[in-house]
Amino acid sequence: MPKPVLYVFGGSVWSAAAELAAAELFPEGDIEYKTINLMEGENFAPSFIIKNPNATLPTLEAEGQAYTSTVEVTSYFVKKSSIKVKAANPEFIEILHADKIDPNFALFLFRDDEEHKAKSELGQGFLGGRQAALKKYSVHPEAEPHKAFYDEKIASNGAFLALYQGKASKDEFFAQSHTHFHNIATFFKESLVSYLPENGFIGGEIPGEDDYHLGAWLTRIAAALGAKNKDEAIPAFEKGFGAPIPGQVVSYWRAWTERPSWIKVYPELH
């Protein structure tokens, strides 16, 4: 039987969740990894949209099926592994993946002109690459069945890119960014600790299914707040959220960042 093929990208928050699960649950070599370069919009190629109509990562091909969401991929790994771990809490997973605290938007939001300037290179590079790819792939004959998808993505990504290029009013986006940052800060400071143990992981002594998602979410938030490595994360949380970080969060972060799986997946924070 062919190996499962996991499509990933080194800068993707949710690819990292699947990669953490794979590293925790399977021996080296059991899973084949293929990189889809999101910076160049390779996920918008018609050949990839056939695999995943949402054009998102992670995507897994295994046993003749495609698994096209982070939840589906990590659940598959948990079910197929000989290592038994605590299954996910659906309520918690839904919270982590809600738009309200989306870790992708956390990286690209800007609340004022200073933050806009600081993130301009990242935003224009990523969104510009996507826009060029969308326009390129949308005219391929193979793209015709997905015309509505391409039209919507070109419009929405183009509007986002215009904000970074200074071609659109930023006032509404400033307000949206403030709200999103507030939502993340509130979850981080008030709600998160209710899911965490005093020590170790939600799954116990080793990470469980919830932990793969939360480990990736936390690492992205640290990166969005400017942390460049694991040691800068806690100070970045404290500075960004303007409050001491609960001991359970500190303990949880240290538990993850000491594991070989985390070290493998995160040569740098993203």
Chain-centre distance of CA 221, in angstroms? 10
- In this predicted structure, what is the pLDDT of residue 22? 99
* Residue range of the domain that includes 126: 113-169
Assess whether 231 and 103 both reside in one domain.
Answer: yes
Assess whether 79 and 133 both reside in one domain.
Answer: no
Assess whether 19 and 47 both reside in one domain.
Answer: yes
User: Can you give the length of the chain in residues?
Assistant: 270
- Tokens representing 128? 């510009």
Assess whether 201 and 226 both reside in one domain.
Answer: yes
What are the residues whose beta carbons fall under 8 Å from the beta carbon of 83, sequence distance 6 or more? 24, 25
How many helices (H) and strands (E) are present in the chain, helices listed first? Answer: 12, 4
- In this predicted structure, what is the pLDDT of residue 236? 98
Report the C-alpha gap between 66 and 105 in whole angstroms.
26
Q: Which of 198, 196, 231 is nearest to 214 (CA)?
A: 196
Assess whether 188 and 91 both reside in one domain.
Answer: yes
Digit-coded pLDDT (tens) for 219-251: 999 999 999 999 999 999 999 999 999 999 999
- Among the candidates 169, 187, 213, a domain finishes at 169
Assess whether 153 and 263 both reside in one domain.
Answer: no
The residue ranges of the chain whose pLDDT is under 50 are none
List alpha helices for 85-146, DSSP H: 90-96, 103-108, 113-138
- In this predicted structure, what is the pLDDT of residue 1? 76
Assess whether 125 and 146 both reside in one domain.
Answer: yes
Q: What's the CATH code of the domain at 55?
A: 3.40.30.10
- In this predicted structure, what is the pLDDT of residue 93? 98
Report the C-alpha gap between 143 and 150 in whole angstroms.
8
- In this predicted structure, what is the pLDDT of residue 219? 99
Assess whether 266 and 198 both reside in one domain.
Answer: yes
Domain count for the chain: 3
Report the C-alpha gap between 58 and 16 in whole angstroms.
8
CB 261 within 8 A of CB 20: yes
What are the residues whose beta carbons fall under 8 Å from the beta carbon of 13, sequence distance 6 or more? 103, 104, 216, 217, 219, 220, 270
- In this predicted structure, what is the pLDDT of residue 230? 98
Assess whether 192 and 255 both reside in one domain.
Answer: yes
Q: What's the CATH code of the domain at 218?
A: 1.20.1050
Assess whether 95 and 216 both reside in one domain.
Answer: yes
